[in-house]
Amino acid sequence: MNEKAEELDRVEKKDLFGSGHRACGGCGQALAARLVHDAAGENTIACVATGCLEVFSSPYPDPSWRIPFLHSLFENPAAVASGVEAAYKALRKGPVNIIAQAGDGSTADIGFQCISGMFERGHNVLYVCYDNEAYMNTGVQRSSFTPYGAWTSTTPMGNPTRKKNLPLIAADHGIPYVATATVDDFRDLQRKVKTALSIEGPKYIHILVPCPLGWGHSGELTVKICRLAKDTGLFPIFEIREGKITNVQKISVKVPVEEYLKLQGRFRFLFKRGVPTEEVAVIQKIANQNIERFNL
């Protein structure tokens, strides 16, 4: 198909995760969900944990989903997806794409053991984490993906701990495919979803999804903030196959973390009258460690 025909096809096609949902303007998670399911195609089952995505997309009578959708508990989308996959196998049905998906709170905290079990048992499921770095649905509480220094309603003086690195923990389970992505680069994100779904076994994709409400930025900055997260080194973009890093998105011009932090209200108190405090230097050190570790 030529480019023009492809574009027409894309415009005319109905989104599998459709418009009319109740996400905030500029919600990175809504955009990510649309891109993920668009890449996955119709032959897909979505197992979605409690969280913003489920709340803004599923209320009866006007859900946004044009594919089968299962709402799991906050803690168990990976277990539900594992069960769906086992049922398909037992009934000798399929193949079908099964995508377990959840926010960072579900993924990093309460749902973690179910994910680890799903990886370890080897289910043929793609797990997607929409990482907005806090429990947004219930009022911006801290999760273990909240970055160092960020304000949340439960860390009013700034988060004192560092973000848990789940992509590497996932890879250390020996699963065949792990990737990170953001919503500023549609092609990269969708290629990774397609790649993941073409591989048999458990897969993990971790997507950074800015949250204008919780991060304190205006909606039109969502894409810019993703770019800065990458260009500062705070959110490295890579793929890991069978435990080996096989692809890293290099930073062409490295940007100081200040540029990322100062656009977001959650980091406002790290600057005194516009001058960075020593906490900013701690965050720069984290970015530098990522740059070194992943050879960005």
Read off φ and ψ for residue 8, nearest 5 degrees. Answer: -60, -40
105 binds ligand TPP (CB under 6 A): yes
* Binder of residue 74, out of ligand TPP, Mg ion, none (CB less than 5 to 8 A by kind): ligand TPP
Closest to ligand TPP by CB, 39 vs 102, is 102
195: Cβ contacts below 8 Å, ≥ 6 apart:
177, 179, 239
Closest to Mg ion by CB, 47 vs 136, is 136
Smallest Cα–Cα separation from 222: which of 29, 62, 57, 63? 29
Out of 138, 154, 195, 249, name the contact with ligand TPP by CB under 6 A: 138
231 binds ligand TPP (CB under 6 A): no
Rounded-to-integer distance, Cα 157 and Cα 154, Å: 9
75 binds ligand TPP (CB under 6 A): yes
284: Cβ contacts below 8 Å, ≥ 6 apart:
256, 257
Closest to Mg ion by CB, 138 vs 195, is 138
267 binds ligand TPP (CB under 6 A): no
Binding mask 20-59 for ligand TPP (x = CB under 6 A): ---------x--------------------xxxx------
* Binder of residue 102, out of Mg ion, ligand TPP, none (CB less than 5 to 8 A by kind): ligand TPP
Closest to Mg ion by CB, 46 vs 136, is 136
* DSSP 8-state secondary structure symbol assigned to residue 262: T
147 binds ligand TPP (CB under 6 A): no
Q: How far is the CB of 215 from ligand TPP (least distance, A)?
A: 11
Smallest Cα–Cα separation from 267: which of 201, 217, 206, 209? 217
Tokens at 145, concatenated: 């993906």
Rounded-to-integer distance, Cα 97 and Cα 102, Å: 16
* Binder of residue 197, out of Mg ion, ligand TPP, none (CB less than 5 to 8 A by kind): none
Rounded-to-integer distance, Cα 39 and Cα 9, Å: 13
